[in-house]
Amino acid sequence: MLIEEVIIDGFKSYASRTVIGGGDPKLNAITGLNGSGKSNILDALCFVMGIENIKQIRANTLQDLIYKRGATGINFASVTVIFNNEDAQHSPVGFSSCPKIAVTRQIVLGGKNKFLINGTSVTQDRVDSLFRNANLNVNNPRFLIMQGQITKILNMKPQDLSNMLEDTAGTRVYQDHKEKAICTLLKKDAKVGEISELLSQSILPKLNSLRLERSLSLEQQSLMNELEKQEGDLAIFTYQKLLVERKSIEEKVSHLKAVLLDIENSQSSLNTQHNTLSANIEACSPKIVAIQAKIDGHSKELSLVSSKLSAYIAKKEALEESISTTEASIKRLVSSCTSPIADQAHDSRADRGHLEKISTILSEINEDLLRKEKQSALIRSSSSLSSASLDELDAKIDGLNRSISEKIPELSHQEEKIKTLDASIKQRNEKKKPVWEHTISSLEHQISEKKALIDHLNASVSLSHLPSSMELLKIKSEREYEISGVKSSCSRLKEKIASFMRFPDLRNVAQNRFHGSVASVLYLPPENRCWAYALELCIGGRMHNWVVDSETDASQLMQTASNKAHRMTVLPLAKIQGRSIARHILDKISQKASQFPNSCALPASSVIAPRDPKFSPIIDFIFGNIILTDNKELARAIAFDKNIKIKCVTKEGDIYDPSGTMTGGAKCHNPSNSPSYTTIACFSEYHDVNAKIDDMKSFLEDKVNTPLQAHASVSSLLANLNSQLSLENDALMLLSKKLSKNDHFLELRALEKDSAELDACLKQKTLLADSISHLSERVSSLSEERISLCADLSRESKLANITSEIEALVVRKASLDKEKAQLLESIAQQDLQAKILAEKKLLHERSKADLQMQLKQSKLQLEALSETGKTIQGSFSRAQEIDHKLKSELLFEKNEEQCLKEELAKVSSRISQNHSSIKKTRAELNSSKESIDSCILAINRLLKEAPQLASASFASVGSTSHIELDSKVQALRIKISEIREKIAKKSAEISFNSSKSKDSSLIQMIDSLERQESHLQKNLSRVKLDKQKIEEAIGKLNDFRESALKDTFSRVNKDFGEIIGVLLPQSFAELNFEGKSIADGVNIRIRLGSVWKNSLNELSGGQKSLVALALILAMLQFSPAPIYILDEIDAALDLSHTQHIGSLLKSKFSGAQFIIVSLKEGLFNHADVLFRTKFVDGVSIVERHQNPNKGKPKNKMS
C-alpha cells in the first residue's frame, strides 16, 4: 500500500486546495527553504493517519491546524491521502478488492472531527485498524523518523538501547505481562498463608470440640423424636381405623341413595317412555297412508317417462339403421364407378403400346428407303467421278510415303540416345545410389520430424490463444457493475413483497413441499401487466394463502399455526379442483365482445401463468370462472346476460357479479402504463430480475472468470511454446540448407534429371513409332480404296438389286400405314368412352356427396337424439330412485310401527318391577344411617385427645382394610414401650444440663463453622492452582522473550554492520552485551578502518549521527513497512555522507516507498521525484520536478 497522491486543503500553511501527485514508488524527496511548509506535508500525513498526540505535529489544539486558525475565512482543514492498493497479497484486511484506498480527515472550526474511507464516513478506530494492518501505526511509529530522534539515540544508556531492541522485537508487551503476573503471584502467596493460619489456629480446634458435643445431643434427640413419632403413628392409625369404618358406611349409604335415585329416575323415564311410545304408534298410521298415496301418484309419472324412453330407443335404432344403409350405398357407388374406368384404361394402354411399336418400325423403314435411294444415286454418279478420284488417291499415297521416310532417321537417333542414357544410369545406380539415398533419406527424415514438431507447436499456440486479460477484467468490471445495479432493483422489489416472504413455522413440513404464498407462485408476463390491478382484485384475500403439496402437509402446517394461535389458509395442490368456463359460453362471450369495437374480453386464466406447471390448479381454482375486459359496458353485458352469467372485472377495477352486485367507482391506483404498485406485478418483476441476475452471473462465470483463471496458467505455457517454435524453425532452416548443399543430394538430383530425360526420349520414340505406324495404315487404306474405285466401274448389277429392295420396303410401309390408321381410330373411340365414364363418375361423385351429407345429418340427428336420450334416461333413473325411496319409506314406517308396539309391552313389565325394588332399598338406607352416627361419636372423642389429627390428610384411607389397621395399632403399642425403656437407659449415661435453646444454637454454630471451613479449603485449592498457572505462564513468556530477543539482536546486529559499511566505507559497527544478556544492556562498538573506538565520544558529530541513523535503519529493516518518512535526518551530515544515505536507501530498502525531507542536494539528488516547497504571499505551494536521469514520470504509483 503506497502513497499515490496527497490533497491538502486549509491545513496549516496550505490555504487553498493543493494536490501533490505523481510520486515515485521508491524514493521521493521534499525540499525548500526554512518555513516554506516542508514538514507541514509530513504533519498532514500523520494527521490523516490518526495521530493522537497533536503536539508531535507542532500544535496544541486541533484548531491550530486550520490555516491561521480561521482568521482569513477558512474555517476547516482537510487532508486526503490516496493509496495504491493493487498488491492484493499485502493489502489490509477487508480492502483486497479495492485497487485504491482514499483516506480523508476533516476538521471544522469549533472542534468537529471526521474520517472518511473511499468517501464513506467511518470512526477513528476503523482508520487506526486499517493502518495497523498495513504496519503504519502512527501512534507507535516505526516507519517515521522525525527531527531530533537521532540526537535522542546518541544520548541513550545501554539499558535504553536494550529497551529499544525489545520494542523492535515486540517483546516489551510480554515484559509488562510478566511484571503483572509476578505481582499477582505475590498476592496469591499472601492469601494462601492467611487461609492456612486461619484454618489451623482458629477454626479446626473449635470445630472438633463442637462436633463431639453435637453427637451426644443428637443421639438423645433422636430417641425422643422416635418416641414422639411412634405415639403420633398410634393416634393416626386409630383415627384412620375409625375413618375407614365411617367411610365404608357412608359409601354404602351413598350407594343405596344412588340406587334409590336411579330406580326412581328409571320409573319416571319409563312412564315418559310409555306415553311417548303410545303417541308414536298413533302417529305412524297417517304417515303410512300418505306415503301410499305418494307411491300411487308417482307410478303414473314413472309409466309416462318409461313410454318416452321406449320411443327414444325405437327412434335411435331407426336412425342407426338409416346410417348403415347410407354407408352401404356409398360403398356400392364407389365400386361401380371404379371398375369400368380401370378396364378401359387397361385397353387404352395396350393399343397405345402397339401404336408405338408400329411407329418405330415405320421410322426404320423410312431410314432404309432413304439410304437405299442415296446408294442408287451414288452408283449412278460414280461412273463419271471414278477417273478423277483415282488420280487424287495416287497423289495422297506418294505424300504419305515421303513423311514415313523422313521420320525413320529421327527414330534411329532417339534409340541411340536412349542406349547412352540407360548405360550411364545403370552404372551410377549400381555403385553410388544406395549410399546417396541413405544419406539423403536421413536428412529428409530429420526435416520431416522438424516439420511435424513445428506443426504440433503451431497447433498448440493457436489452441492456447486467449483473450487479453485487460479486456476480460474490463468486461468483468462492467458486468459486476450491471449486476450490482440489477441487485439494487431486486432489493427494492423484495422490500415491496416482504410481507409475502415471511413464512410460517415450517418445522413439521418439508421445505420442498412448501411453496410460499399464492402471490409467489404466479407469474404475469410483461405484455399482460396492464391487467395486474384487475387480477389482484380477482385474488382478493387469497393473496396470503399458503401453497403446499398435499392435505397432510396442510394439516401439519395448520397444527403449527394453531399451537401459536395464528390463523392461516392453506391450499394443497393435490386436493384443489380448478374451474373453467365452458366452450359454448366462451363463444357467446366472443360474440358479445364483437358488438363493442376496440374492446376485448379474455378469461383471467389465459392472462396469468403459473411459475411452474405444477401450480396450474391454483390458476384454475382462483381465475377459472372470471372474465377480464377493458370496457365497463361490455363487462355489464356479459355479467348480466341470462345465457352467460360470468363474473367480470375491468382494468380500472370495477367488478360485475352475476348475482346483481357491482363494485368499483374509485380510480385505479395502478394505471396500465405503471403496474409496479401491485403485488402480482412486483412478484413477476422480481422473478424476471432474479432470472436476469442468474443469466449475468452465468455469463460472467463462463466467459470471464474461467478464461481469467486459465490465463495465468496458459501465459507461461504460451511463452514456452513460442520460444520452442522459434528454435525449431531455425533448426529446420539449417537442415534445409545442409540438404541443398550436400554433394550426394546434388549427384542424386543429376541422376534424377538424366532419368527424366530418358523418360522423355522413350516417349518421343513411342510417338515416332506410332506416327510411322499410323501413316503406313493410311497408305494401306488408300491403296484398298484405289482398288475399290477401280472395281466400281462395273456396278450396274448392284443398282438392280437396290431397286428391288426399295420396292419391297414401299409395299411393307403401305401395310403398316393401314394398321396404324386402324389403331388411331380405336384409340379415339377409347378416349370418347373414357370421357363418358368420367362424366358418369362425376355424377356418382355428386350422388356420393349427397349421400355423405345425408349421412352427416343423420349422425347429427343421432347426436342430438343422444343428448335428448341422456335427459330422458336421467329422468327415468330419477323417477325410479324416487319410487324406490317411497317404497323404502313405506316399509320403514310399517317396521317402525311394529317395533314401537313390542317396546311398549317391555316398558310396562319394567314399571311393575321397579315398585318392589324401591321399598327394599329404603329399609337398608335407614339402618346404615344409625351406624354412621355411632362412628362419628368415637372420632370426636379421639380428636379431643389429639387435635393435630384434624388437620392431617391420609392418602391411604380406604385402601387399607379394617383388620390390617387393628394389627398395626397393636404392634405400635409394643414398640412404644420398648423406646421408653431405651430412653431411660440413655438418661443414666448423659446429663441434660443444656436447655433446648442452647442445643439449637450449638447446632447452628457447628453448621456455620463447617461452611466456613469448606469455603476456605476451596479458596486455598483455587489459589494454589492459579499460582501454578501463573508460574507456567511466566516460564513460557521468559522463553519466548529470550528467543525473540536473540533473533532480533542477531539480525539487527548484522544489518547494523552492513549499513555502517555503506555510510562509512571501510568501517564496521556491532552491538555488544553490557553483561551476560540483552536484559543487562547493550553497547555500540565501531571500527574505523582497522582501529576500534572505545567510545562514541571519539567520533565526530557527523559520524555519531551516521551511527545512530544506521542503527535506526537496521531496526526498520527488521520489521519493514511499505512507507518510510524521514524528516531532515541529514541535518548534521556533510555532503558525502548525505550521498551515502541516498544510495543506501535505494539498495537496502528497494521494496518500500521513502518520503524524505532534506535541504541537501546530496540526498535529494538520489530521489526519482523531487517536490520543492515555496512560501508565496503567506501560502505554501508545491512544485514537482522529475529527476532527468530517471526517465519520464509515471502516471500512477504501483
CATH code for the domain of 662: 3.30.70.1620
Which residue has better confidence, 75 or 1191?
A: 75
Which residue has better confidence, 678 or 451?
A: 678
CATH code at 52? 3.40.50.300
Statement: residue 1142 has pLDDT above 60: yes
Q: Is residue 743 part of a domain?
A: no
pLDDT digits (tens, 9 = 90+) for 75-94: 899 999 999 988 877 788 88
State the Cα–Cα distance between residues 1158 and 1136, nearest whole angstrom: 14
pLDDT band at 1123 (very low <50, low <70, confident <90, very high): confident
* Residue 420 CB partners (closer than 8 Å, separation 6+): none
Statement: residue 1197 has pLDDT above 50: no
pLDDT band at 997 (very low <50, low <70, confident <90, very high): very low
pLDDT of residue 1180: 92
Q: Residues 625, 761: one domain?
A: no
Burial of residue 53 (number of CB atoms within 10 Å: 0-12, 13-18, 19+): exposed
Statement: residue 954 has pLDDT above 60: no
Q: Is residue 507 part of a domain?
A: no
pLDDT band at 942 (very low <50, low <70, confident <90, very high): confident
pTM above 0.75, yes or no: no
* Residue 514 CB partners (closer than 8 Å, separation 6+): 503, 506, 546, 547, 548, 553, 557
The CA–CA distances, whole Å, from 27 to 91, 940, 1125, 1168, 1186 equal: 21, 114, 10, 6, 12
Q: Residues 36, 121: one domain?
A: yes
Q: Is residue 342 part of a domain?
A: no
Q: Is residue 224 part of a domain?
A: no
For 844-871, b where at least 16 C-beta lie within 10 A, e where not — what string?
A: beeebeebeeebeebeeebeebeeebee
pLDDT digits (tens, 9 = 90+) for 1143-1180: 777 777 767 888 888 887 767 777 889 999 999 888 99
Q: Among residues 760, 785, 810, which one ends one of the domains?
A: 785
Q: Residues 543, 670: one domain?
A: yes
pLDDT digits (tens, 9 = 90+) for 136-156: 878 767 677 776 677 777 778
User: Are the beta carbons of 66 and 109 closer than 8 angstroms?
Assistant: yes
pLDDT of residue 1182: 92
Q: Among residues 632, 648, 676, which one ends one of the domains?
A: 676
pLDDT band at 165 (very low <50, low <70, confident <90, very high): confident
pLDDT of residue 955: 45
The whole domain housing 74 covers 1-143+1121-1197
Q: Residues 765, 659: one domain?
A: no
Q: Is residue 565 part of a domain?
A: yes
- Average of pLDDT values for 895-914? 77
pLDDT band at 791 (very low <50, low <70, confident <90, very high): low
State the Cα–Cα distance between residues 591 and 815, nearest whole angstrom: 79
pLDDT digits (tens, 9 = 90+) for 679-714: 888 888 888 888 888 888 888 887 777 776 766 556
Statement: residue 410 has pLDDT above 70: yes
Q: Residues 620, 754: one domain?
A: no
User: Are the beta carbons of 1148 and 1056 closer than 8 angstroms?
Assistant: no
Q: Residues 118, 20: one domain?
A: yes
pLDDT band at 667 (very low <50, low <70, confident <90, very high): low
Q: Is residue 162 part of a domain?
A: no
Statement: residue 386 has pLDDT above 60: no
Quick one: what percent of the chain has pLDDT higher than 70?
A: 80
Q: Residues 661, 754: one domain?
A: no
Mean residue pLDDT across the chain: 76
| C-alpha torsion sign, points 1181, 1187, 1192, 1196 | negative
Statement: residue 1024 has pLDDT above 60: yes
Q: Is residue 121 part of a domain?
A: yes
| Parallel, antiparallel or unpaired: strands 1153-1157 and 18-21 | unpaired
Q: Is residue 76 part of a domain?
A: yes
State the Cα–Cα distance between residues 1169 and 1161, nearest whole angstrom: 13
Q: Residues 533, 617: one domain?
A: yes
State the Cα–Cα distance between residues 459 and 589, nearest whole angstrom: 69
pLDDT of residue 936: 81
Among residues 1174, 1012, 1126, the alpha carbon closest in space to that of 45 is found at 1126
Q: Residues 2, 114: one domain?
A: yes
Give the lowest-confidence range in 170-179, 311-320, 652-661, 1038-1047: 170-179
* Number of compact structural domains in the chain: 3
Across 321-335, 930-944, 976-990, the highest mean pLDDT is recorded for 930-944
pLDDT of residue 1194: 41
pLDDT of residue 759: 78
pLDDT of residue 995: 41
Q: Among residues 785, 809, 831, which one ends one of the domains?
A: 785
H/E stretch holding 569 reads none
Statement: residue 996 has pLDDT above 90: no
pLDDT of residue 722: 65
Statement: residue 1109 has pLDDT above 90: no
Instruction: Give the angle 739-745-748 at the CA atoms, nearest 5°.
Output: 155
pLDDT of residue 405: 77
pLDDT of residue 107: 94
